Each structure stands twice: as C-alpha cells, then as structure tokens.
C-alpha cells in the first residue's frame, strides 16, 4: 500500500505545472500586440506632423533683412522714375541723387575740365553719407544711382576724355577705395540698360536745361563704361532691365513685370 501512494503524488505534481506553462504562453502574444499599436500610432503622428509643418514654411525668405536697393544706369535711363514707382509699390524710402542743389553740376556742363574733379568729389561724398544712413537705419531704402558708378564710370570717362587730370583721378580713386572699405554693397542692384536713341528720347522729354549741351559721343562713352562695369559686377544680386524693350514709366504691364522680377530677386519665387 505504501508503494502505490508514492506514484500518485508524482503524477499530480506535473498536472499543476502544465497549466502554469500554458498561461505563460498565452500572455506573451498580448505583450507583443501592444507594440504594434504604438507603432501604428507613431506613423499616424508623423503624418500629422508633416501636414501641420507644411503651411508654417515661408514661401520666400521672410527672415532676410533687405535694407538697400540701388538703381543704376546712364543719363536718361529712367532711374528716378523707377525709384519712385518701386518705392510706392513696396513701401520703401527713397534716396535721390542731389541734382537740384548740386553747386557744381551747371558749371560742369559749361566747363567740364575746370569742374570735373569738384563735381565727382561732391557726388562721392553725397552718396557715401547716404549709404552710412542706410546701414545705420532700420528702413528699406531704394537709392537713385550708386557710389560705384561715380568711380567706375564717370570719373574714368572724364579722365580718358582729358577732362580730369591724372593727378586728380588718382586722388579721387584713392578716396573711393578708402570709402568703399567702410560700406556694404546693395542687397540688389537694378541696372537700366538703354540704347543711345532711347536715352536721348528720355533726356528730351524731361527737358533739363543743364543737359542741353550733352554730346552724343559723351553718352556713347558712358554707355561703354556702363556695359564694361556691369559685366564684371560681383558685389551682390543684379537685375538688368532693357528700357528699349520695357517701358515701365508708361505701361502698367511692363511695370508689373519689373515689380515681379524685383520681388523674385529679393525674396524668391512664391
């Protein structure tokens, strides 16, 4: 009787362990199912993030600070007109070339050799002060004519024509080099390119008395200097507008095209 009781105890022990093993097996799939749900939720979250992030991205670089736009071009190209039109559209402040109050301009057109150096120094100093004001201020300024034109076009042309002595030209160039080491170039340079007939037509329309003595060969030489300068301009962004093809002063569609190109250059496509 004692021998038959011992096997009975052995058989009951495995029966209790077996269910325990089954319950362990059943709980494992439950723990594996939970990560699948969290993985799915992570995918959904990432999609949501993409959808909400897209509108937040600016369509152009709104963080870029634009402080200085400059308009360059030969006499009669329409710099003042374009400066006024762009300033009105974008809400910019204008800095114009000091023509009416220039104490040397009328004398220069009467006697160029005598007043060439004086005139160029006046313009150089005037534009230098304008640029300093632009750099110190917080507003966006559009400037009629650049400081580079004085040194790269008008002064060399006067020297080449024998209207400015070599001594004066060298002195002027050294002053210009010292000044430009203290200033930054414009954020955008707009160059108005025009043929001699187009320039003459514009000059005749505005009827400035001191421009009556302008010679065609003088305008041609300036145009050659302008084209040589603009072909090597590397200081910053450059936009070239052909006034023979685009009449922004009288045609609203042409003006709209110019405005769109300026917008693209400054802020990119949108």
- 45, 107, 144, 212: the active-site residue: 144
HEC readout, 36-98: HHHHHHHHHHHHHHHHHHHHHCCCCCCCCCCCEEEEEECCCCCHHHHHHHHHHHHCCEEECCC
- Kind of pairing between the strands at 141-144 and 68-73: parallel
| CA 164 to chain CA mean position, Å | 35
With a CB cutoff of 8 Å and minimum separation 6, the contacts of 64 are 266, 267
Please list, residue by residue across 32-51, b when 16 or more beta carbons sit within 10 angstroms of its beta carbon and e when fewer do.
eeeeeeeeeeeeeeeeeeee
Residue 128 phi/psi, 5° resolution? Answer: -60, -45
254 carries an active-site annotation: no
Specify the length of the chain in residues. Answer: 270
Active site residues: 144
């Amino acid at each position: 009787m004692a021998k038959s009781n011992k096997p009975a105890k052995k058989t009951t022990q495995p029966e209790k362990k077996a269910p325990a093993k089954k319950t362990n097996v059943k709980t494992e799939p439950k723990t594996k199912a939970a990560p699948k749900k969290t993985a799915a939720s992570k995918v959904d979250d990432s999609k949501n993030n993409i959808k909400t992030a897209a509108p937040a991205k600016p369509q152009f670089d709104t963080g870029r600070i634009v402080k200085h736009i400059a308009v360059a071009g030969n006499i009669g190209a329409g710099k003042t007109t374009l400066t006024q039109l762009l300033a009105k559209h974008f809400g910019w402040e204008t800095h114009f070339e000091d023509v009416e109050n220039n104490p040397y301009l009328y004398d220069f057109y009467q006697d160029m050799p005598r007043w060439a150096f004086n005139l160029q120094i006046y313009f150089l100093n005037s534009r230098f002060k304008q640029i300093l004001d632009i750099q110190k201020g917080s507003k966006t300024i559009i400037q009629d004519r650049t400081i580079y034109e004085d040194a790269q076009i008008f002064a060399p042309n006067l020297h080449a024509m024998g209207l400015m002595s070599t001594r004066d030209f060298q002195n002027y160039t050294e002053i210009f080099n010292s000044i430009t080491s203290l200033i930054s170039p414009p954020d955008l340079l707009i160059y108005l390119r025009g043929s001699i007939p187009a320039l003459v037509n514009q000059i005749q329309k505005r009827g400035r008395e001191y421009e009556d003595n302008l010679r065609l060969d003088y305008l041609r030489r300036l145009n050659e200097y302008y084209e040589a300068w603009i072909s090597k301009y590397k200081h910053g962004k450059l936009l070239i507008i052909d006034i023979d093809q685009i009449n922004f002063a009288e045609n609203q569609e042409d003006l709209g095209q110019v405005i769109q190109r300026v917008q693209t250059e400054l802020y990119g496509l949108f």
